[in-house]
Amino acid sequence: MDRCIKSILNELLVDTFNEILTIEQTALKSGQLNDLSVTEIHTIEAIGMYKSRTMSEVAADLGITVGTLTTAITNLVKKGYVERRKDENDRRVVKVILTRKGKLAYRVHEKFHSDMIKATIEGLSEEEERVLARALGKLNDFFTNKYLTKNESEKE
């Protein structure tokens, strides 16, 4: 691959990553979810729509400690997006579940991502979609293997 293509790819990846974060934050601030941060909406996304989850499960999905998640959940409970519940079988276990307001936030954010994917693949052939998916999968593997697993081993 020539240097020019590598430079273009680097610029596109960096710009796209930064723009997604900026657009998400702007969409949140200007819409009906203006009291949520990007981190909070991703916490809502990790909790999920349909069942309660333990704090440990959500923290693991987000790659954060339960202590860090506890702070985020406390804020989301105060804002009315999340509810804490004791597990029926083991009262020591705390589960979190989305409220109606939390489910609305989840759906609004899901639509943002759905629209982003539709715009990305619009006009692509099935083969181009597969190539894009394979390339993004390789990028994801790079981040996971190079940075996330490294950070996990540093925590131990």
| Range 76-95 average pLDDT | 92
**pLDDT for residue 129:** 95
Q: What is the band of 156 on the pLDDT scale with cuts at 50, 70, 90? A: very low
pLDDT over threshold 50, residue 124 = yes
* pTM value > 0.85: no
With 0-12 CB in 10 A as exposed, 13-18 as middle and 19+ as buried, what is 119?
Answer: exposed
Residues ≥6 apart with Cβ < 8 Å to 73: 43, 55, 82, 84, 96
Residue 9 to residues 15, 51, 114, 120, Cα–Cα distance (Å): 10, 40, 23, 15
CB atoms within 10 A of CB 15: 10
CATH 3.20.20.70 fits 36-122, yes or no: no
- For the stretch 86-113, pLDDT in tens is 888 888 888 999 999 999 999 988 988 8
**pLDDT for residue 58:** 95
Tokens representing 125 are 């052939």
Q: What is the band of 149 on the pLDDT scale with cuts at 50, 70, 90? A: low
Which residue ranges make up each domain of the chain? 36-122, 125-156
62, 43 Cβ separation under 8 angstroms: yes
- Among residues 61, 110, 55, 57, the alpha carbon closest in space to that of 77 is found at 55
- For the stretch 2-50, pLDDT in tens is 778 889 988 998 898 888 888 877 777 777 778 998 889 999 999 999 9
